Amino acid sequence: MSDGPGPARAAAAGTPAGEPVLSVALAAMMEEVHAHSGAVYLLRPDEPVLEMAVHAGLPRAFAAPWERLGLGASVPVADAVRERRLVWVGGEEEMAGHYPRIAVVLPYPFALAALPLATAHEVYGAVFVTWPGSHPAELSTEERVRLTAACKRLALRLARAAKERRPLGRERDLLAAPGPEVAATLGSVEAARMVARLPYGLASLDLHGRIGYVSPAAATLLGKAPDELLGALPWVAVPWLNDPTYEDRYRAALLSQQPTSFVALRPPGDWLSFRLYPNLTGLSVRIGRTHPMADVAPAAAPVEAGPSRLVTISQVLNLAGALTEAVGVRDVVRLVWEELAPAVGCRALAIASPRGGRLHLLGHRGYDDPHTVERFEGLPLSERTPGMRALSSGVPAFFESREQLGRLYPEREESPDGFAAWAYLPLIASGRPVGTCVLAYAEPRLFPADERAVLTALGGLIAQALERAMLYDAEHQLAHGLQQALLPHSLASLPGVEAAARYLPATRGMEIGGDFYDLVAARPLTAAVIGDVQGHNVTAAGLMGQLRTAVRAYTAVGQGPHEVMASTNRLLIDLGVELFASCLYLRLDPAAGLAVMARAGHPPPLLRRPDGQVRVLDLAGGPLLGIDASAAYPTTEVALTPGSVLVLYTDGLVESPGVDIEDALAELGARLAELGDLPLETLADELVRRSVPAEARRDDVALLLLRARGD
């Protein structure tokens, strides 16, 4: 049994017709684990979106930015569905670490568990429940078992309902039932007298923040008659309390279930202290006078601001947090679709930008027929369309119905896109238009003034992220093109040697670097080289090209391996770039079955003999290139019998966080022993495929395979 009025005894005013399956299941689940709020999400059948079907324990506005969620969103309930597992967030720090966007909107101490509603064959939605900040940092085994069992039971009910073609939908939210009333009239009178004798004021707020009781002393301190306060929100009824900071304290108290306080200035110079004591039914507020505070004054807020401000601030903060993760233009389009579209209820999205006097489509989502939006690609900016108008004027346009759009732009009727309402948001950054964002809705829709203001503000956030992303993409394209031009387009054909090479860029930063490889068909012997210039930028890529050219030149004039390495070292020092490079150079003599190698701080190559035995070659060598102009680079002869495979690589192939380099080399050797008889191109693909996963690759990977043919 839980203490106090648990969620299972919650009351829903005017529950819709039919059995409230989701509400009852959620309330029972919350009571079993003593959670103080929660919600059930259902997966839409026609799109990858989770919609909140019922919320309990706290006002739905607390979760407003997450009422509709794309399955790709980085939030616990979406993760629970995608990964089919329980997601646990044990507190404020853990939330900030794993889900920073939620922490920005709700920076309060609370714990959360999210679970999928799924059978063995189908996913129907998800559930989350929360506890106050006093909950232990770990979820207990009993809580885990009870939550999992309850979600399985609810999933089976959802499966049965789907089979019987009676899908469940949204139900009325549940808030805690009101507390016990004072039965005796005499007791009520005496309680009122007791409160009146106190030297401070008292007020009671329900879960929505509405004032249900205010003592005469509290009304006097607030400067309002009691009938002006009852049923109102404090930050609406009292102008000088109309500041998001004070509303934030109310949310913090309810979500954390811990007392909070703040100090406010009542004009012209009276300072009042507010202490909020929460429980599952609301808050008790103690109001008293306090000493003046120097240099502190809350920012003024418009008196007209209403209770919807919570939703507005939350949505803006949530999208702002999401867009900080955007790197390229594709990221911006994806994040706007995953974060903004579910929140505002649009069914399609397109983002375009001007380029060379024409419109360039950067990305779109949600269109059943891509041609309906892709036909705008390349249109002159002088064309008369709502998107061009928003782009050129900088003024957003909202069309509440197809008829309204048709009156102003009759040509749109000739190619309908299947939608019924649109918002065209100009994307203005640094005082110039960088694009247009189009939101399309499936049904006719009103755009009240507050919603237009929110969408316009969100357009500004999108514009800033898009400007950064377009700059990044341009720099990346330039740098990537430079690097591709400096690497060999194909490998030279060498007598008696088969070769294959692979290059993979890092997946962090600019995705370029200084890794290089080459084959040089010099006579009478041939040569191979692999190296890695320090850094991941245009300078590293440019220096890589210079070193590769130098190695070819020194090889062509007949220098031996030790001379090529020493000459390249002196060149790097003479260039004065203060960058170092590792390098491995070898002269191949397949007819004699020999390879002569020189090494400058480079990872050792691997040799697979024809019998499948693999060993790491312990080569003599010198320091990294670019350190010591007088450094010597001794050589090592290695037998290269027909069928042998040499594996030359850069450290990106074997280095990853938390993995010992010796273990990584042993694993690479085992893969080479197992797969070494494969065709060389297939072997190269397998070795890089089984290396560091792309999403975790912090360094470039260059791989050069050489197999002695013996012909």
Report the CATH number that the domain containing residue 467 is assigned in CATH: 3.30.450.40
Do the beta carbons of residue 648 and residue 680 sit within 8 Å?
A: no
Residues 641 and 670 in one domain: yes
Q: Is the pLDDT of residue 103 over 80?
A: no
1 band by pLDDT with thresholds 50, 70 and 90? very low
Residue 147 placed within a domain: yes
- Three-class SS state of 662: helix
Report the CATH number that the domain containing residue 268 is assigned in CATH: 3.30.450.20
Residues 470 and 499 in one domain: no
pLDDT for residue 698 = 62
620 band by pLDDT with thresholds 50, 70 and 90? confident
| 637-648 pLDDT per residue, tens | 999 889 999 999
| 430-478 pLDDT per residue, tens | 778 899 999 999 999 888 877 787 888 888 889 888 988 888 777 767 6
pLDDT for residue 310 = 42
CB count within 10 Å of CB 425 equals: 25
Residues 194 and 152 in one domain: no
User: What gap in Å lies between CA 451 and CA 408, rounded to an integer?
Assistant: 22
Q: Could you tell me which residues come within 8 angstroms of residue 575 by beta carbon, excluding any fewer than 6 positions away?
A: 543, 546
| 104-155 pLDDT per residue, tens | 778 788 999 999 999 988 999 999 999 998 899 899 999 999 999 999 999 9
pTM of this prediction?
0.51
| 180-193 pLDDT per residue, tens | 444 444 456 677 77
299 band by pLDDT with thresholds 50, 70 and 90? very low
| 482-494 pLDDT per residue, tens | 666 667 777 877 7
Please count the structural domains in the chain: 4
Which among 512, 544, 530 is positioned nearest to 649, based on CA atoms?
530
pLDDT for residue 312 = 52
Q: Which two three-digit tokens encode residue 131?
A: 């506890």
From 272, 289, 306, give the residue that closes a domain.
289
Which residues span the domain enclosing 530?
A: 487-708
Mean pLDDT computed over 205-224: 91
Residue 308 placed within a domain: no
From 479, 501, 517, give the residue that closes a domain.
479
DSSP conformation class of 175: B
Which among 493, 506, 387 is positioned nearest to 440, based on CA atoms?
387
Rounded to 5°, the CA angle 548-477-572 comes to: 25
Q: Is the pLDDT of residue 309 over 50?
A: no
User: What gap in Å lies between CA 314 and CA 321, rounded to an integer?
Assistant: 11
